[in-house]
Amino acid sequence: MDGIVALWKPKGFTSHDCVSKARGMFKTKKIGHTGTLDPDVEGVLPLCVGKATKIVPFLTNTEKVYEAEITLGIATETEDASGEHICKKAVTSQLSNQEIKEVLTSFTGTIKQVPPMYSAVKVDGKKLYEYAREGKEVPRPEREVEIHGIELTSDGAILQDGRAVFSFNVRCSKGTYIRTLCVDIGKALGYPAHMSHLVRTATGGITKEVCLRFSDVQKLVDEGTPEKALLPISTGLSHLPSLTVDEQTKALIKNGRVLEKEQGMPNSEFTVRCGEEVLAVYKTHPSKPDKIKPVRVF
């Protein structure tokens, strides 16, 4: 079986837990996930099965969409609700919607983030969370990420017991830490903050509307139709430009041939199809700009 399980990851599961459970259901080891989600986070986690594992890098690099909740007034060591409180400052006055919206808008575009200590980013061959568990804090590499869009989704901030809580929706690039974004938004508003809730609603072209829960997948497996849980490989590549070729060219594509770059072909990575079948992902040849070469052949 080859395809994509649009899984709605439940809370309490790591991404690796989900892969392990799916391997048992589909009775195959050839399954990979397309971007880590923390155990406390639920949402869209595409799992690639069989030949679809070849597109994992393309889905991992896509835009992600999240619904997040931020709590002002308390900072935690993990930057989310699971961590110990490390800083407090009571929120005593109501924040206006205009003030919140202006701060959120200021984070659009390219921004810099310092990964949280409780993350899987490696420094000197060791994951940051391993240092954190040892009580050590090490210099962390600053990175650039893209915030494509961000907007307030709650009716302002709810003020209670010295805290203010509001929700926002964000579209962002791979590698964006929403926890850190919440902390930085809090700083811009003048308060310590942490991410109090997070849901991922889309990865590339795969949205929550098409997702299955493990119970849905198990039902299909029990009915002897596990293939019905799979989306076609092309679904995971729908964000890429596409080129359609004829049957004669299909044979060349299947053999991974370098081809002439014709007028109108995209400069970035693009899929090559024959009818409804996705044959490969191609790109402009790095040293021969008049040719295209395969990145992946399916």
Higher pLDDT, 222 or 36: 222
Q: At what angle do helices 15-26 and 214-222 cross, to 10 degrees?
A: 10
Same domain, 158 and 286: no
Same domain, 20 and 122: no
Q: For residue 113, what pLDDT is reported?
A: 92
Same domain, 110 and 181: yes
The string of pLDDT tens digits covering residues 57-75 is 888 889 999 999 999 999 9
Q: For residue 138, what pLDDT is reported?
A: 80
Q: Is 38 a catalytic residue?
A: yes
Same domain, 168 and 98: yes
The string of pLDDT tens digits covering residues 88-113 is 999 999 999 999 999 999 999 999 99
Task: State the CATH number of the domain containing residue 30.
Answer: 3.30.2350.10
Q: For residue 130, what pLDDT is reported?
A: 81
Same domain, 53 and 126: no
Q: For residue 218, what pLDDT is reported?
A: 96
Answer for the pair 193, 71: CB distance below 8 angstroms, yes or no: yes
Which residues form the domain of 93? 64-200
Q: For residue 212, what pLDDT is reported?
A: 97
Same domain, 130 and 92: yes
Same domain, 125 and 219: no
Q: Amino acid identity of 55?
A: I
Same domain, 120 and 146: yes
pTM: 0.88
Same domain, 68 and 195: yes
Determine the average pLDDT of the residues in 236-257.
Answer: 89
Determine the average pLDDT of the residues in 195-200.
Answer: 97
Determine the average pLDDT of the residues in 279-298.
Answer: 90
Same domain, 58 and 155: no
Measuring CA to CA, which residue among 199, 106, 105, 200 is closest to residue 152?
105
User: Is the model's pLDDT at 280 over the cut of 80?
Assistant: yes
Same domain, 50 and 98: no
Same domain, 84 and 178: yes
Answer for the pair 183, 107: CB distance below 8 angstroms, yes or no: no
Output the CA angle 281-282-284, nearest 5 degrees: 155
Q: For residue 50, what pLDDT is reported?
A: 93
User: Is the model's pLDDT at 80 over the cut of 90?
Assistant: yes
Higher pLDDT, 141 or 146: 146
Task: State the CATH number of the domain containing residue 246.
Answer: 2.30.130.10
**Tokens encoding 72:** 């002002």
User: Is the model's pLDDT at 5 over the cut of 80?
Assistant: yes
Q: For residue 224, what pLDDT is reported?
A: 95
- 130 Cβ neighbours under 8 A, 6+ residues apart: none
| Cα gap 186→34, rounded to integer Å | 29
Q: For residue 120, what pLDDT is reported?
A: 74
Determine the average pLDDT of the residues in 36-61.
Answer: 91
From the candidates 38, 184, 246, 290, give the one annotated as an active-site residue: 38
Q: For residue 18, what pLDDT is reported?
A: 96
User: Is the model's pLDDT at 248 over the cut of 90?
Assistant: no
Average pLDDT, the chain: 92
| Cα gap 194→75, rounded to integer Å | 5
Structural domain total, the chain: 3
